[in-house]
Amino acid sequence: MPDTCLLILLDGLGDRAHAHLGHRTPLQAAATPCLDRLAGLGATGLYHASFFGQPLPSENAHFALFGGRPDEFPGRGALEALGAGLDLGPDDVALLAHFAHIGPDADNRLTLLRDKVPIAPDEADALFAALPPFTRDGVTASLHPVGGLFGVLVLRGDVSPFVTDTNPMVDGRLLPRPLPLREQAHDPAARRTAAFLADYLVRAHRILADLPMNRAREQAGQVPADGLVTQRAGRLKPCPSLRERYGLRGLSIATGAMYAGLARFTGMEFLRARDTGDPGADLAERIRLALDRADDFDFIHVHTKTPDQAAHTKDPEAKVRVIESLDRGLKGVADAILADPRLLLAVTGDHSTPSCGGLIHSGEPVPLLFAGEGVRRDAVTAFDEISVAGGALGCMRGREFLFSVLNYLDRARLVGIHDTPDPVEYWPGDHPPFILDPQE
């Protein structure tokens, strides 16, 4: 039986039907002979990390794929901070933050005028330098760069993560005022955090609007980056590692601070991959890295963001091209995967990203396949959202994915077995030996 799971994660793979693609999804429309071949060698189905109709961001979906419970999720801001190499204290709050072009309307309401401002790296450095750590009423804010205009805002003091976002995410929309979430409306820490954040962001806007760099950009007819918007506040929580709960030594091969932070939070090793602009070649290289390390890990996550990025352009044809490139890259390494009886192969997405409409992500499930020794083979011979709906796996949700991995690796715990005092999901558990005392 297999002893290592190789998870190939095609981010944002699922989509909606498009009339000009013959009412097919980009995955249906794409030529994917390798993915179709893999579908014919194993069991297929659908996957949703939560429940049908609920759009999930990558961090929540990945957390479920890695076996985390929703109540253990620390928030995107905390994961981003970990991935940026920051050390968060147990009471610190971290928020995603990025520079944007904002301004007041006729009623003095702050409006997001341009969410993504094209800017040079040295200009981004100047923006971060303009906002040094700031303290007021016992709360300290420090802004840390992550990449380009994006950063993490860390709050320290008697603060709370239960505050609203200030990023409306769509140009032309009003910025929401920072407020405590409804259930924490009377919590002093949440009220303090919201009030501090409002003051800090107004102060940041005034500083940035007066920055010589931004004044020069306006004079040159360029869009200034004169505001800071925040979202997805988080705080670290206790959470068993992948090894502690599931008995799996994990490795994540990906790009992006969030994935590095998620690996750090779940106790997985992280290998930062390269993006060369060739989705297929990059995926093949990451899979080769995974195969080289298969002896050292039990669960290897290989990630590509490119289907999601293509879908965000709202061009279904662009997503078709990316998917076809990934399939070509997978073709070059598929035989090596299939030839190794120690490997359990899983291929899926984390969520659906629609190539049309106003949603960022959508709530449809994504296709899933497992292939390897002992895996049932169904009659499905195409890997897309519609074909796999008739597969043997049905529709998996949430942590069912990782429980299925344990099952295929012959590590699933029979309900009622307690060979260890710890609440673990794998078998056999790590337990001290029962040693006979020679004096008895």
Which pLDDT value is given to residue 33? 98
Residues whose CB is less than 8 angstroms from the CB of residue 81 and which lie 6 or more positions away in sequence, other chains included? 88, 94, 144, 152, 154, 234, 261
- The overall pTM is greater than 0.75: yes
Q: What is the CATH number of the domain that holds 248?
A: 3.40.720.10
Model confidence at 187, in pLDDT bands (50, 70, 90)? very high
Model confidence at 65, in pLDDT bands (50, 70, 90)? very high
- pLDDT tens digits along 104-126: 999 999 999 999 999 999 999 99
Task: Say whether both 255 and 149 belong to one domain.
Answer: no
* Domain end marker among 234, 261, 293: 234
The Cα–Cα gap between 394 and 317 comes to 29
Task: Say whether both 259 and 179 belong to one domain.
Answer: no
The pLDDT of 307-335, averaged and rounded, is 97
* Domain end marker among 234, 257, 275: 234
Task: Say whether both 250 and 379 belong to one domain.
Answer: yes
Which pLDDT value is given to residue 332? 85
* Domain end marker among 234, 254, 289: 234
Task: Say whether both 174 and 278 belong to one domain.
Answer: no
Decide: helix, strand or coil at residue 366: strand
Task: Say whether both 270 and 403 belong to one domain.
Answer: yes
Task: Say whether both 173 and 226 belong to one domain.
Answer: yes
Residue 433 is assigned to a structural domain of this protein: no
55, pLDDT greater than 80: yes
Task: Say whether both 373 and 294 belong to one domain.
Answer: yes
Parent domain of 215: 82-234
Q: Are 174 and 186 in contact (CB under 8 A)?
A: no
Which backbone phi and psi does 212 adopt, to 5 degrees? -55, -35
The pLDDT of 143-154, averaged and rounded, is 97
Task: Say whether both 193 and 218 belong to one domain.
Answer: yes
| Residue 33 to residues 331, 336, 399, Cα–Cα distance (Å) | 8, 17, 29
Task: Say whether both 162 and 247 belong to one domain.
Answer: no
Residue 218 is assigned to a structural domain of this protein: yes
Residue 361 is assigned to a structural domain of this protein: yes
Residue 418 is assigned to a structural domain of this protein: no
Task: Say whether both 127 and 262 belong to one domain.
Answer: no
Residue 304 is assigned to a structural domain of this protein: yes
73, pLDDT greater than 90: yes
Which pLDDT value is given to residue 440? 62
Q: Are 270 and 252 in contact (CB under 8 A)?
A: yes
**Could you give the number of structural domains in the chain?**
2
| Residue 142 to residues 156, 236, 378, Cα–Cα distance (Å) | 9, 17, 54
Residue 268 is assigned to a structural domain of this protein: yes
**One-letter amino acid for residue 277 of the chain:** G
Task: Say whether both 250 and 394 belong to one domain.
Answer: yes
209, pLDDT greater than 80: yes
- pLDDT tens digits along 239-249: 999 999 999 99
Which pLDDT value is given to residue 438? 75
Residue 427 is assigned to a structural domain of this protein: no
What are 161's two structure tokens? 């993560």
- pLDDT tens digits along 392-403: 999 999 999 999
Q: Are 299 and 6 in contact (CB under 8 A)?
A: no
Residue 425 is assigned to a structural domain of this protein: no
> What is the dihedral sign for C-alpha 200, 201, 202, 205?
positive
Task: Say whether both 166 and 265 belong to one domain.
Answer: no
Model confidence at 199, in pLDDT bands (50, 70, 90)? very high
